[in-house]
Amino acid sequence: DQQVKQNSPSLSVQEGRISILNCDYTNSMFDYFLWYKKYPAEGPTFLISISSIKDKNEDGRFTVFLNKSAKHLSLHIVPSQPGDSAVYFCAAIINNNDMRFGAGTRLTVKP
Amino acid sequence: NAGVTQTPKFQVLKTGQSMTLQCAQDMNHNSMYWYRQDPGMGLRLIYYSASEGTTDKGEVPNGYNVSRLNKREFSLRLESAAPSQTSVYFCASIRERRGNEQFFGPGTRLTVL
């Protein structure tokens, strides 16, 4: 039973445009959400996080939005760059240590 | 400062063989984690250790054991490998338990024939 879902396995955008990656979750007990970026043959690297008591967090080109009533979060990348091409994982934390990941979305940014 | 290191990078086992995956971090982090990544499944937590001397089961602990040898090292052992354990294994660490980012190692790609 996957509690964190990323329903789009892939996304392709043009350089300079906005990339929007979506994530849905089912467990209302999650209290922290994170986005990770992963290149082939490397471990995931942290991008940005948001507490469940907030609805937006911004860090440079990356903004995460949280809609608790819809159990939905999204990652916006503006402007998208070719170096952003990677697999993006959404993750949610429950009970301090138990982190659940989505299946990932492969983003391709075309020059 | 090497961050999180994992050995080996690749391993091929036969069904029934045992092996230990090693993980070490030099960031003085308290909590350490083991995940497996399978196609279409994302990363799934196997075990974690919130501090030296403690370990807890995650989402998919069956078939695995762990040891938190000291603050730096957290090993994952497969006592009797099965083809279903073919996966990429990632170790991670975090300074604080709540909400902070995890730092991941480069992964171990394990194939069980």
Q: Per-residue pLDDT tens for B33-85?
A: 999 999 878 899 999 998 888 999 998 999 999 999 899 999 999 999 999 99
How far apart, in Å, are the Cα atoms of A91 and each of A25, A29, A53, B5? 9, 13, 16, 22
Judged by CB atoms closer than 8 Å, whether chains meet at B99 and A41 is answered as no
Interchain contact A96–B (C-beta under 8 A): yes
pLDDT for A95: 75
Residues in B closer than 8 angstroms to A6, CB to CB, are 42
With H, G, I as helix, E, B as strand and everything else as coil, classify residue A101: strand
Euclidean distance between CA atoms A28 and A33, whole angstroms: 12
Specify whether the backbone of A55 is left (phi greater than 0), alpha (psi in -120 to 50) or beta: alpha
Interchain contact B4–A (C-beta under 8 A): yes
Interchain contact B56–A (C-beta under 8 A): yes
Most A CBs within 10 Å, among B41, B43, B104, to test the A interface: B43
Euclidean distance between CA atoms B28 and B16, whole angstroms: 35
Interchain contact A49–B (C-beta under 8 A): yes
**Going residue by residue through chain A (111 aa), what tens digit of pLDDT does each one get?**
679 999 999 999 999 999 999 999 999 999 899 999 999 889 999 999 999 999 999 999 999 999 999 999 999 999 999 999 999 999 998 877 788 999 999 999 999
